[in-house]
């Protein structure tokens, strides 16, 4: 939107069948109505932005071709490489990454023909491993699909109800929170679905190649001699939970590799696309990166801000200066600098 506003011709490539990325298929409808997303897409189309969906750059079309045919390429691919759980039994049927589950359900709600993707929680004992926002969305979606039971694991201990001495302001408060999914499960089933300080040890086979449950052990977090927190298994705490649908919601390791490899982009130690601090230029000329693929998984509002600032940097590089809003929404131009001096 910002580059289009500055007078550039903008084309957006989306590998899915609908525009919107995480807003369209990753965030459930009960949190974000898709009419809101579609309204914005239609406005952008009317303003002249071109959209090409069902086009996976790096597979359906070469990233080098895009770079050769455009003045600049901005990568906003997100952090979509999910963290796996490589324990015995991981190969069993019925174990899925959380985003596959959420995307399948969202597509079904929007009318896509997905009979070939029968991924549903209806009448199943659902286990969700991971306690972040994605895990909560899986809880709420499973509830709406008619799950028989819902349990979620968090490897960290149960946080306190209020700040302790080791967590003063202005640090982010590490306190017990009840999100919408937790509250809904408590209303329907009579209990909070969360189990804290749980380490997954082994997925259990039903004898036909499908997951039937999981074996776990309780853990205790303690500080070692250097002051670092370490996790130790508690003896004689082995426990089995039944589950015929397991959803892995343990976060993401960074952007997917094929586009990075094709363009030979440098990455930082966390596997994100490397750019200078506070900048969006990558190691390859005329290629920029913004959002989760640059800084790691974060909130939508941060991705929006990154996109706006990356657009300003692109505009400045192409035109010599930019009149797009700078950090904090301030307009910073050469004229402003002269007046300010």
Please name the residue that has the structure tokens 């801000």: 305
Q: How many alpha carbons fall within 13 Å on the CB side of residue 322?
A: 24
Classify residue 25 as exposed, middle or buried by CB count within 10 Å of its CB (0-12, 13-18, 19+): buried
Residue 253, by phi and psi: left (phi above 0), alpha (psi -120 to 50) or beta?
Answer: alpha
CB contact at 8 A, 198 and 153: yes
Q: Domain 2-80+253-340: which topology?
A: FAD/NAD(P)-binding domain (3.50.50)
Q: Exposure string (b/e) for 273-294, b if CB count within 10 Å is 16 or more? A: bebeeeebbbebebbbbbbbbb
The DSSP secondary-structure symbol of 129 reads E
User: Into which CATH architecture does domain 95-248 fall?
Assistant: 3-Layer(bba) Sandwich (3.50)
Angle among Cα 55, 61, 64 to the nearest 5 degrees reads 135
The reported pLDDT for the residue numbered 118 is 65
Q: Where are the domains of the chain?
A: 2-80+253-340, 95-248
CB contact at 8 A, 301 and 87: no
Closest CA to 157 of 135, 174, 136: 174
- Angle at which helices 98-109 and 133-145 pack, to 10 degrees? 50
CB neighbour list of residue 144: distance below 8 Å, 6 or more residues apart: 30
- Written as tens digits, the pLDDT of the chain (341 aa) is 899 999 999 999 999 999 999 999 999 999 999 999 999 999 999 999 999 999 999 999 999 999 999 999 999 999 999 999 999 999 999 999 999 999 999 988 888 876 655 689 999 999 999 999 999 999 999 999 999 999 999 999 999 999 988 889 999 898 999 999 999 999 999 999 999 999 999 999 999 999 999 999 999 999 999 989 999 999 999 999 999 999 999 999 999 999 999 999 999 999 999 999 999 999 999 999 999 999 998 989 999 999 999 999 999 999 999 989 887 776 655 555 444 44
The reported pLDDT for the residue numbered 340 is 46
The yes-or-no answer to whether 2-80+253-340 and 95-248 have a common fold is yes
């Amino acid at each position: 939107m910002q580059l289009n506003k500055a007078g550039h011709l903008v084309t957006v490539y989306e590998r899915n069948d609908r525009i919107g990325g995480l807003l369209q298929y990753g965030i459930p409808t009960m949190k974000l109505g898709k009419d809101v997303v579609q309204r914005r897409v239609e406005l952008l189309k009317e303003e002249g932005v071109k959209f090409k969906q069902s086009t996976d750059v790096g597979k359906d079309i070469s990233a080098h071709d895009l770079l050769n045919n455009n003045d600049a390429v901005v990568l906003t691919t997100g952090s979509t490489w999910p963290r796996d759980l490589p324990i015995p039994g991981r190969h069993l049927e019925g174990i899925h990454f959380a985003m596959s589950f959420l995307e399948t359900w969202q597509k079904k709600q929007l009318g896509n023909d997905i009979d070939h993707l029968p991924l549903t929680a209806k009448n199943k004992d659902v286990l969700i491993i991971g306690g972040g926002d994605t895990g909560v969305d899986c809880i709420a979606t499973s509830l709406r699909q008619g799950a028989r039971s819902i349990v979620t694991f968090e490897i960290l201990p149960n946080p306190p109800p209020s700040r302790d001495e080791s967590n003063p302001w202005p640090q982010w408060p590490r306190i017990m929170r009840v999100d919408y999914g937790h509250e809904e499960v408590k209303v329907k089933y009579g209990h909070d679905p969360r189990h804290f300080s749980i380490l997954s040890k082994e997925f259990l086979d039903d004898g036909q190649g499908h997951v039937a449950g999981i074996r776990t052990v309780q853990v205790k977090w303690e500080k070692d001699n250097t002051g670092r927190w370490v996790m130790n298994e508690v003896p004689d705490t082995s426990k089995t939970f039944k589950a015929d649908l397991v959803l892995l919601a343990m976060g993401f390791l960074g952007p997917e590799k094929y586009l990075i490899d094709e363009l030979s982009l440098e990455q930082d130690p966390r596997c994100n696309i490397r750019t200078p601090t506070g900048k969006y230029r990558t190691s390859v000329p005329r290629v920029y990166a913004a959002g989760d693929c640059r800084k790691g998984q974060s909130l939508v509002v941060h991705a929006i801000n990154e996109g706006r600032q990356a657009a300003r940097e692109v505009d400045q590089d192409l035109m010599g200066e930019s009149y797009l809003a700078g950090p904090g929404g301030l307009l910073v131009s050469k004229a402003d600098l002269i007046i300010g001096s």
